[in-house]
Structure 1
Amino acid sequence: MSTRPCVKICGLLPGDDVTFASDPVITHVGFVMVPASRRFVSAEAAAVMVEQVRNQVQTVGVFSDADFDSALAAVRAAHLDVAQLHGSESVELCNSLKSAGCKVWKSVPVPLVQPDRTAILEACERYMPVVDAILLDAKPPRDGVSGLTGGNGVAFDWTILADVCAALDGFPLWVAGGIAPENVHALFRSCRPYGIDLSSGVETDGRKDVKRIAQLIKAVASIEYAK
């Protein structure tokens, strides 16, 4: 039996063409609820878009160091399926959201220079008991926008992925950062993650580009691997 990775298109904005959500290659879409992000959307705006893709894909809200009440309220107001925590959230906060009925993904930042495999694995193992998935993303640059912890369009060193995939032993692992239609196959030569998360890699001039997404769909559709 073979399967393809899950694919999430993140950072949707009001007015984006979301017809791509009907393609079976696309499994998730994401809405950034981080005020510092240029892709920020309110829960109310996200709720409108969620309704447009209802019964086609899973919907994900991206948060960065939001408190429990704010994150839970946004998830419920927008009728989201998943809360993706992309900051320095504690194990306790993750557990509280999961206990409240949320599916929770936790990001683990990967330094762009000399990533410490041991530290990354320890972070993954710390969160795994209280979340539904781990997401690896490139650590933002020091001179980046304050409060912005993802969506930088930069890839980390994918050679670490084989070790992480092996250590997680089937636990859902998402990979983000610098992924684009042109390098999807290179990523899957490094690792076979549960899912890939794209934003700027399928944008033109800062907005989602249906042609770029179509290129991604074609590239991913050609990837099959044994479970």
Structure 2
Amino acid sequence: MTQVKICGIRSLEEARWAVEAGADALGFILIPKSKRYIEPKELQYIIAHLPPSIRKVGVFADEPPDHVASITLQCALDIIQLHGQEDAKLYHKVPAVKIKAYSFRENNLQTLHSEIEQGLIQGILLDSKIEGQFGGTGVSLPWRDLDFQAILTRIKKTKLPVILAGGLNPQNIEEAIQLTHPFAVDVSSGVEQEGRKDRELIFQFIQKVKNLKTNNHNSPKP
């Protein structure tokens, strides 16, 4: 079954909505420039009130490795998501599973493969990109595009879990999964109203994912 990550959580209430709806992971934006940024102290409080079965993901972009490691330990993060131009080998000592974000429009697939071969990352997040924004753009990936499908095939050959992001919402999630068969899906703006998480949209999104039968051949979760 396809896993679900609700990203951009900013309050305990939002986190509980996602948990109650059946989310597998929650994402917290630790990028100060992001409109969904959450202070580490607030994040620490939220995580302390979540069930241990929920995977907690910290999203960073070009932050110093020591800073990332400090927040990872302070907040008891399970996973870190590197969403910038980081050199993954600089983060190998951070005590968490590492996911690397990859934009379809970026020409750095060779670098990504090198990081995979070195065992530096344990998952790949495919996202759309708008200059100056770090995820949550609401822009969908071109799932039917032949170039996109070719890159997706190459990435899946690495056998690492592939997480699909980029403009997902309750209306398009079924088509997106059927065209890409990811290990997991990641949503942020697609379950928001007026810039804040919406309980009903979170529920609708997760139910559509969990009720969809797919032939998902991705590797086990990292």
TM-score, structure 1 normalization: 0.85
Q: Determine if the alignment matches structure 1 residue 13 to structure 2 residue 10.
A: yes
2:6 and 2:18 in contact (8 A); partners too = no
Number of the residue aligned with 1:110: 104
Quickly say closer, same or farther: Cα 1:24–1:199, change in 2 above 3 A.
closer
Number of the residue aligned with 2:114: 126
Q: Determine if the alignment matches structure 1 residue 156 to structure 2 residue 144.
A: no
Which residue identity does 1:106 align to in structure 2?
Answer: K
| Aligned partner (choices 22, 25, 32) of residue 29 of structure 2 | 32
Which residue identity does 1:217 align to in structure 2?
Answer: I
Which residue identity does 1:155 align to in structure 2?
Answer: S
Report the 3-state secondary structure (helix = DSSP H, G, I; strand = E; otherwise coil) of the residue aligned with 2:139: coil
TM-score, structure 2 normalization: 0.86
- Unaligned segments of structure 2, at least 5 residues: 218-222
Which residue identity does 2:6 align to in structure 1?
Answer: I
Which residue identity does 2:150 align to in structure 1?
Answer: D
Which residue identity does 2:30 align to in structure 1?
Answer: M
| Aligned partner (choices 130, 148, 162) of residue 140 of structure 1 | 130
- Unaligned segments of structure 1, at least 5 residues: none
Matches within 5 A, 1:1-227: 4-14=1-11, 16-23=13-20, 25-97=22-94, 101-111=95-105, 119=107, 121-128=109-116, 129-141=119-131, 144=132, 148-159=133-144, 160-167=147-154, 168-169=156-157, 170-226=159-215, 227=217
Report the 3-state secondary structure (helix = DSSP H, G, I; strand = E; otherwise coil) of the residue aligned with 1:73: helix
Question: CA offsets, 1:105-160, max 9 Å, x none?
Answer: 1111222xxx7xxx45424312223111011111223xx4xxx3222111121235
For the residues of structure 2 that align with 1:208 and 1:75, how far apart are their CA atoms? Answer: 24
Question: CA offsets, 1:55-107, max 9 Å, x none?
Answer: 2410000000000110000111111111111000003224343xxx2211111
Which residue identity does 2:99 align to in structure 1?
Answer: W
Report the 3-state secondary structure (helix = DSSP H, G, I; strand = E; otherwise coil) of the residue aligned with 1:163: helix
Shift of 1:23: 4.3
Shift of 1:16: 3.3
Q: How many residues align?
A: 210
Which moves more between the two structures, 150-159 or 11-20? 11-20
Shift of 1:190: 1.4
2:81 and 2:100 in contact (8 A); partners too = yes
Which moves more between the two structures, 173-182 or 216-225? 216-225
Report the 3-state secondary structure (helix = DSSP H, G, I; strand = E; otherwise coil) of the residue aligned with 2:92: helix
Shift of 1:177: 1.1
Shift of 1:217: 1.7
